[in-house]
Amino acid sequence: MEIIVSNHSIEFIEAYEKQDNFHAPMLSQGGHAPSMEKLQTLVEKGLVSREEILAIAEKSYKPNLRAISYSLSEDKKEITIYSHAGIGLNTIRSLAEKLKVEYKDQTASELAQTIDSINIEFQKHVKSNTVNTLYSREKMYVGYYGYSEISDAPLEFIMWNRFYHSLERPASYSGYKINFVHGHDSHDPTRENIYNLDNALGKMAYLNQGEYTVLYSPGSGLAPVNNPIAGEVDVLQETEEEPRVIALPPLAAIQAQKDPIPEVFEIIEGEPTVITLPVLHSYFLSQLEAIKAKEQELRERNHSLAADRAQELYDYVKIQHTELMENKLDIKIFKDNCTRAIDTARLELEKHRGWKQVLGNLALAVVGLGVLYVAAGLVHKAMTGNFLFFKTDSADKIDQLEESIKSMEGPK
């Protein structure tokens, strides 16, 4: 088993390395670390001890931590690279340079050995509780808010990256094939040799049913693991052994789908809430996922014209969001373009049940990306305390929302 370091796990890692309370300074701002915060509550109530948690981490967690990972085909002609956030060969090159590891990639085996060497150096820091010295809080916050690249900070990059245009992710390189697998951000679509396992499932209280995506290889095809890293780090030295091998390359990602996203949410009335950019970003992506889910429903019911309009809206807004995140578009143009697209799509889509609310939520998400304070009469604080939804019996507020969209200005 391997655990790849992520923007979530790094908060726990830093807490035990610095002997701090189990508190997530960044993620707790957006309500993304309730399990860690509740863990600290359990410690304070005496229900579990900090010593017990640290003992488990020392025995079962730390030895399995990796910066990135890979699997290699039996013929060593294909390698699959695993990371939390999306990365490319240039990211691995930068990470090797940071950890003072020789970078080689002329064969799949050389690239695998490079990754092994990176992880050996990374594990040295894990064992000595110095992972927290490999990154800066400033760069972590840049990654957290997601509006700037951090390619000059490779460790922060493998945990936080949401920019994909500069990644070197060739399907073939120097005579061998490469696959890239990541999660973290739904914005990078699965295509050709790139597999994105992230989606909205579980990211908010109401997203408790949906699609769960996995990348798999038949279990019977797995070869024995040769010289696993967990055994190497005890001696903390480089090895000339062959990298570990997996017999089969990954097959296509599969998705298990349960019930569609529910339409009824329990709302708690409240005052206007200040919402952080990461929360708004997550909310926006969740509304895009809702559009996609409803589009699939339309196709299943043979409403082809409406399904096409929904697909066009999804594709267009996603492109606009990409350009916004890459600083190719300012927030006002983004808001105007998306609002027009929603208005155009609603002519057909509002003929079908549930679409008025879905389009209203998407419009709210568009506004939210440009405005940090949202009108009290249009939004409410959800049960998690972090996310925004319309009341299901308030579809008439969509018209009010349209007027607010036109009147609200982006940040100065």
Tens digit of each residue's pLDDT (9 = 90 or more) over 364-398: 888 776 553 233 233 333 333 333 434 333 334 44
Residue corresponding to tokens 């579980």? 202
Alpha helix positions (H), 350-374: 355-370
Phi and psi (nearest 5°) for 78?
Answer: -150, 135
Rounded CA-CA distance 62/168 in Å is 30
The pLDDT score that the predictor gives to residue 140 is 81
Q: pTM value?
A: 0.61
The pLDDT score that the predictor gives to residue 179 is 94
**Tokens, residue 318:** 């996603």
The pLDDT score that the predictor gives to residue 379 is 36
Residue corresponding to tokens 């025995």? 59
Rounded alpha-carbon distances, angstroms, from residue 43 to 50, 375, 395: 6, 39, 44
**Tokens, residue 379:** 């939004």
314: CB partners within 8 A, 6+ apart: 288, 291, 292, 295
**Tokens, residue 8:** 């979530």
**Other CB atoms within 10 A of residue 230 CB:** 16
CA 344, distance to chain mean position in Å, is 30
According to DSSP, residue 25 is labeled T
Is the separation of the CB atoms in 256 and 212 below 8 Å?
A: yes
Q: Are strands 78-82 and 254-257 parallel, antiparallel or unpaired?
A: unpaired
pLDDT < 50 regions, the chain:
218-241, 246-249, 252-275, 372-412
The pLDDT score that the predictor gives to residue 188 is 84
**Other CB atoms within 10 A of residue 17 CB:** 18
The pLDDT score that the predictor gives to residue 91 is 95
Max CA pair span of the chain: 68
Tell me the per-residue pLDDT of 174-226, one tens digit each, with 9 for 90 and over: 999 999 999 988 878 888 899 999 877 776 666 677 777 777 654 322 233 33
DSSP bridge pairs for 388: 381
